[in-house]
Structure 1
């Protein structure tokens, strides 16, 4: 595969390992889902995996057929490379790394998904509550204290897996607003909720997948949050391993606007000040928060 642009920056973290990009030898037609955490990654992977496989029944758990390419999850890189290579046909892979952190390949479709940062924050709180981590974790504190840490945290390329608004915004600016990826498929979680079938048609069109209306309807139903929660061991990352207290709780609520009514006026003022400083352009800021249909 020809590289149109090499990686321009290295990002690493507690899980993220830039050397892991070498485990994937892209094929023409491969799809890379590129999102910040808690922004619709698993949902988008599921939709695409079902589209690629021609219907709602997947041949294996999502994590087995749609690997997180640049994450160290306790499996050696050689084994990961063998696993990715053994997947038939075109593959759907995942990353949380911004687009300047990996090569842009000719023939690879990149799908980027974003979500209102305050929905990301509350989803992160539920995510941490469902993990076996200590009670001193910053996301487990009172809402205002946890939010202040989220708002004030830096964008450190060597600590990409930290929970910070600056990291979400940096991902958005380097991926969605940079023009780095030709043909980038840009989506917003709120728009996906408003029209799941339209989302599937957009994804199918961008990936060049022919699909019937009946298949679209079946996939929309099978990839809905209730359906995925009901089979959480198949869809949650590392489901069935005990990593989560409850696999089903990974799909806690979904939705958009869950933050409304949960913050004080001071919290909201602090958020507005920080997001405006990070994204001065009101149009760009508005799209990150609300999508095209907001």
Structure 2
């Protein structure tokens, strides 16, 4: 029987996928993930844990500014702090407090997080919007060089099917959300905050304040406003393209907008057919035992 990783490649992934334990991941990060549980962390590390395309960059940059105490962009791309793809030596070079991000489920993260009681932030997004954004990324990201195929070359219909079945990198958004929703019960002594992309869109200043207070770094309200403004979509996109060091910039197809596509909520309505949306809703309701909430 084919693994879910192989089935994903049959669906149209040109990015090489493998199974690590019960998780589908890109082959290129297996050597990082295989030793993840024994990695060393620091007491003041902050972990941003998201499903891909769920507000990771946004949240990471906000936290970086909160830690700095001012609306100043971090020098490097967020990818410099990607737990899943950076070596322990590379992450060791980052100054404390480190804001590290990951797309892994809790069971694969460093055990020291639980011992040291690090702050953990989970960001979630309307799953349909996350799937659309993930599809566009995979259709445009080279991963190797401009002469290679994109990460995914199949159809939108094939991608939706692969996603629902969990045959995509980091598995289905359903499985990812479920394990993070259980996190407070599984780890009741760990400082934990769950944020939502849609709440950031609705009132970014309020959410900046909530994040700052959670990591015990309260700031004057005016600074919250300044950080929210600096992390607005157009300004953050400009900073990532023209201000930041590009050392950790991934490869994209010519003409692609890169990580910053639209930054909107509700774009899924322009992609999902009625049949696909209804199927997605049914799978969600079976997994979460409640109607689709968006």
Query: Where does structure 2 lack aligned partners over 5 or more consecutive residues?
Result: 1-20
What is aligned with 1:263?
272
In 2, the alpha carbon distance for the partners of 1:59 and 1:141 equals: 36
In structure 2, relative to structure 1, the CA distance for the partners of 1:128 and 1:53 (3 Å cut) is same
Q: Which moved more, 1:259-268 or 1:11-20?
A: 11-20
Q: Which among 151, 154, 164 is matched to residue 151 of structure 1?
A: 164
Q: Deviations over 1:195-243 (max 9, x none)?
A: 1111111100110002111211111111111111112237999667461
* Structural mapping, 1:68-79, within 5 Å: 68-71=82-85, 77=87
In 2, the alpha carbon distance for the partners of 1:18 and 1:240 equals: 19
1:109 CA displacement: 0.4
Secondary structure at the aligned position of 1:29 is classed as coil
Q: Which among 13, 37, 61 is matched to residue 25 of structure 2?
A: 13
1:32–1:93 CA contact under 8 A, matched in 2: yes
Provide the alpha-carbon RMSD of the alignment: 2.9
Q: Which among 68, 90, 102 is matched to residue 53 of structure 1?
A: 68
1:261 CA displacement: 4.0
Secondary structure at the aligned position of 1:231 is classed as helix
What is aligned with 1:173?
178
What is aligned with 1:97?
104
In structure 2, relative to structure 1, the CA distance for the partners of 1:208 and 1:242 (3 Å cut) is closer
What is aligned with 2:288?
279
Query: Where does structure 1 lack aligned partners over 5 or more consecutive residues?
Result: 1-8, 155-160
Q: Which among 216, 236, 244 is matched to residue 224 of structure 2?
A: 216
In structure 2, relative to structure 1, the CA distance for the partners of 1:117 and 1:140 (3 Å cut) is farther
In structure 2, relative to structure 1, the CA distance for the partners of 1:40 and 1:20 (3 Å cut) is farther
Q: Deviations over 1:229-283 (max 9, x none)?
A: 112237999667461236743111012111114322211221122222222234x
In structure 2, relative to structure 1, the CA distance for the partners of 1:256 and 1:131 (3 Å cut) is same
2:139–2:153 CA contact under 8 A, matched in 1: yes
Secondary structure at the aligned position of 2:284 is classed as helix
Aligned length: 260
* Structural mapping, 1:1-294, within 5 Å: 13-14=25-26, 15-16=29-30, 17-21=32-36, 25-63=40-78, 67-71=81-85, 77=87, 80-81=88-89, 83-102=90-109, 103=111, 104-132=114-142, 139-154=152-167, 162=169, 164-165=171-172, 168-178=173-183, 179-181=185-187, 182-233=190-241, 241=249, 243-245=251-253, 248-282=257-291, 286=293, 290=294
